Amino acid sequence: MSPTLASAPGSCCFTGVKHTGTPVGRVEDLGGIPTYISDPPAPTQKVILFLADVWSPLFINNKLIQDYFASCGYIVLGPDYFFGDSVMNHENDRDRQPWIDNARKPAIDAFPAWLDAVKGKYGRENTKYCAVGYCFGAPFVLDLCSDGSVVAGALAHPAFLDESHFEKLDRPLLLSCAEEDHTFPLASRRRAEDIMVARKCAYHFQVFSGVKHGFAVRCDPAIDTQRWAKEESARGIVSWFDRFTV
């Protein structure tokens, strides 16, 4: 088996601050998965696939991030591959690990039909797709970046990755990382970089001090360092995707 670089979600993935705001997207069924859809101000053939953390794309923090990406000129699609049963339904610590173990296979199994439905609706030839994955969503992005489904990918505080994901990488990848991250620690981050350097991949790291795993979604906006890191992560992801969707 390929050595693990980003481990399974842990206790830090189940906490954070709920943000405030008014989401502007809507939920529709795509390929059998409820999907948060946020539209840009003007028609476009640029799409971001938003692969959420264990809180799902329907958590308000994630909705607001998706709306921000849409405001920057992208159609944003967030599949709820938890089918309404996100970590918010599992407050007991003893219940969470079995929930994660049981949630992965249905999500993985449902994803190909969802992706096919997305490309059937939004285009297969002229549409430029990007993908961003937070924690649980990271391996979906690396798979999409290895099979040519997207023009670029991005990760924020990833989980469930091993060396083989980076050995198969075939698209530009941004990694938005916390200085302190139990799932993707410094040694793993450096090993991932070594693999990408050896393979001459196109990549970019953002590494933020003073924040931990989950900062890009569930930071405390009342703390300046955390708020800036979250916002700069999102800005960096948009800027990265803009490079490859012109």
Residues known to be catalytic = 135, 181, 213
174, 176, 177, 175: which is closest to 186 by C-alpha? Answer: 177
CA quadruple 83, 86, 91, 97: dihedral, nearest 10: 100
Burial of 228 from C-beta contacts in 10 A (0-12 / 13-18 / 19+): middle
List the structure tokens of 185: 């620690």
Residue 205 and residue 196 in contact, taking contact as beta carbons nearer than 8 Å: no
Residue 135 gets which letter from DSSP? G
Residue 2 gets which letter from DSSP? P
> Beta-strand (E) ranges in the chain?
4-6, 26-30, 33-38, 46-51, 75-79, 128-134, 152-156, 161-162, 173-180, 203-212
